[in-house]
Every structure is written in C-alpha cells, then in structure tokens.
A = this chain, B = another copy of it.
Amino acid sequence: MRVGIGILGGGTVGGTLARKLLEDREVIAAKSGIDLELVRVAVRDLSLPRVFPASYATDRPEDVVADPSVDLVVEVMGGLEPALGLVLAALDLGKPVVTANKEMVAAEGPTLFTRAASKGVSLLFEAAVGGGIPLIRPLSESLSGERIRRVLGIVNGTTNFILTAMESEGWSYEAAVAEAQRLGYAEADPTADVSGADAGAKAAILAGLAFGVWVGPDRVFVEGIEGLDAADLVYARQLGYRVKLLAVAEDTGDGVVARVHPAFVPLDHPLSGVRGAANAVFIEGPDIGELLFMGPGAGGGPTATAVLGDVIEAARELLAAAQVAPRIRFGPGTVLDFADVETKWYLRLEVVDAPGVLAQIAGVFGEHRVSIMSVWQEGRGDAATLLLVTHDAPESNHRAATDALRHLDVVRQVAATVRVVTDEP
C-alpha cells in the first residue's frame, strides 16, 4: 500500500533519505509490503545542487506538511523552531512524524509525545541519539522489562575524534580541533560539540527512555572538553584509563540523574576502546547484565538509514489503522541535583615539594569527607606533581575540597579535575 512521504530539510540526511527512497522503492516494497512514495522535500535554498531531482524541492515546508498526498512527515531540519511548529502541525493533521532532531525531542519531548498519543499516530526518533545505531527502539521496547541501572554513552563523534587524536597523536586540544575541522568531523564553530551541549540533549533523551522520567536538557549537568590538557590524557594512560566525553544517565536508587563530562574510563572497559568518530552506548541492568551498541554516530548514510527504518515502522502502523499506544510513559519521578550525585574524581595538583605537604592535602580531603583511593607523586626540583584518584563522594564535597585546596600555600595549582567512571559505581 502507498504511503506518501514529505521531508522537511534537504541537507545531508534529508538528501540521502530522498535518494534512498527513490533508489530502493521496489526493494523496500518487496521486503516490507509498503510502497513509500517520495512527494516533496523542503529545502532552505532552492538554488543549491541536490542529490535528488530538483522537481521534488520546495522552499515552503508548511506546504509539505499540508500537502494531502503527504501521509507521513520526516523532520530533519534540526533546531527548535520552525521544526517544532511544523511537527506539531503534522501531528494535528493526523500524520505520523519521524524526526532526527535531538534538540527538539530533548526540549519538547513530553509535548510531542502527548500530542502524538492524542492523535493516535506515531512519533519516532531513532536517529536523534547515536545516528545510525539502533538505540531508541532497543531501549524503549526490547529493554522495557528491565530495571535499567545506568546508561553510559559516547554519543558525540566530534569530541571522540578530538580526544582520540589528542591521545594517540599527542596533539594539543587546539591542533586536534583543527584536524577535526579539516576532515569535516567538526563545524567551523565547534561549540555545540566541544561544550557538551549536543551530548547533553542526547543524555536527556537516554535518561527519559531508560527510566521513564523526563529529565529535560536544563537538568542535565554538562561539562565539555575545552578545558582538557593533553597532559591528563597521558597521565590517564599511566593510571590505566582513557579520557572520554561520556553521557551518563543513572538511577542511583534515590533518583535519576543525567550528566555529560570528560571521564576517566578504565582501559578494560569496552567504551575505552571506542576510537575516532564512532559512537557507542553501554547499558547496565540487574537481569540483562551489560550490553554494548557500537557504530557510526553521524553521517548522511547511517542517519538516513535510521530515519528510513522509522519511516517503514511508522508507515506500517499507519496502514494497520491502529490507535498507536505510546510506547513509554513518563512518570513524575525524582531528578537529582548534580550537587548530590556521588562520583570518583581524578585530580592533578602542582605542589611544593616539601615535608608535610601530603599530610596537609589529605587533611583537606578528610575535612570535606572525600576519601582518597590512590596517590602518585612525581617530583621535579622544588615542585612536584601529585595525581590523586578519590573514592565516591558527592559533587558538592568534591567542589568544596577543591576550593579549599586552592587556598593552601603548598598547592601552586589545581591543574586538572576529571570524573572517573568505573564498572563499580
């Protein structure tokens, strides 16, 4: 049966999707029994060349949504507006929507899910997290019977490329960013990636799906990789770790927390082996044990493939004439303040090399109830570098201890602090 497809956005993902729909129409029909007919593609600039015939292009996205021969709308424009208004308009017309828009889903998820449910149509967003890696469907369907404890993700390929280059080539942060830009892995303005904002939206979505509690992007603690020193990547290796920008969604027992920050990951953990621009997500639960999903986190081909999988599924549900029940419901739940969340910290201190220094430093940690797991000291002349890894302590205690360290005469500099994420939380 025929389903007319309208695409909002004619960039890399939208263009690749249009090409796949045109090229693979018969293969898809044979495999799924559904005839997907591309109707229109809304592009920003009609004068640019496209990988699909110009006759499909229009610069009026609202016309695509309203077109009666469009039965299903794909939104791959990105950003909040006008995407949100167009998606809500499509849902109001009873048209299923497939989107790859992490920002929109993270910020307006509950609005979108409620609207879709009230209209009895599908709203699918497999490509919003992890690009081409099937994650959303496994999390919200296959694992719906598991009390997931923690989700750890490398969900931003740009920053993983930069960190891999810094570590394996010994490059500075600036040099690695420049190389990522040269190869097309980073934008001219890389802020959304390196600040952790992109990963933050994805962490909010992962937490919502894993725990049925909508965290929202504003409640996600986000720290980027801009402040990382290449020296700490070297020290990480000496201590048995690699540094990764992790998105963490966790149910601590007291509540749910979502956070993004650089993290020391043990060398024997599967996530520490994820190199270059790849993405991976690691899921832990009492019955399932440990699951790893790894693959391409971005790019036109992978992302368009994930979108197309959603399109086929949404078309299937549309043709089944089902009142589509929402796949996951969101309860009130408790979202924790990050200040109360316990983590281990790695600290690099530049200190005076004199008797009694370690005792003073240990004293500060003790006052703030942070206990130290291990200490390494490298002397050099009258100064020394001290590397410490702590046991778990609340974020607020770590911060207070670090502030107090800065005021010690014997501490010349708190040169680095990075959270440590291990198998044993």
Contact = CB atoms under 8 A, between A and B. Distances in A.
Contacts of A134: 134, 137-138, 141-143, 291
A33 B288 CA distance: 22
Interface in A309-345: 309-313, 316-317, 319-329, 331
A143 B302 CA distance: 10
A20 interface: yes
Interface stretch (A76-84, A103-111, A292-300, A397-405): A292-300
Interface residues of A, number: 64
Copies of the polypeptide in the assembly: 2
A82 B249 CA distance: 44
A301 interface: yes
A326 B316 CA distance: 9
A219 B292 CA distance: 31
A33 B295 contact: no
Nearest to A23: B147
A212 B322 contact: no
Contacts of A294: 270, 291-294
A287 B16 CA distance: 9
A321 B322 CA distance: 7
B309 A141 contact: yes
Nearest to A211: B31
A133 interface: yes
Interface of A: 16, 20, 24, 27-28, 30-33, 126, 132-134, 137-138, 141-147, 212, 270, 273, 285-296, 299, 301-302, 304-313, 316-317, 319-329, 331
The 9 closest A-B pairs by CB, nearest first: A145-B308, A322-B322, A134-B142, A287-B301, A134-B138, A291-B295, A142-B309, A292-B294, A320-B322
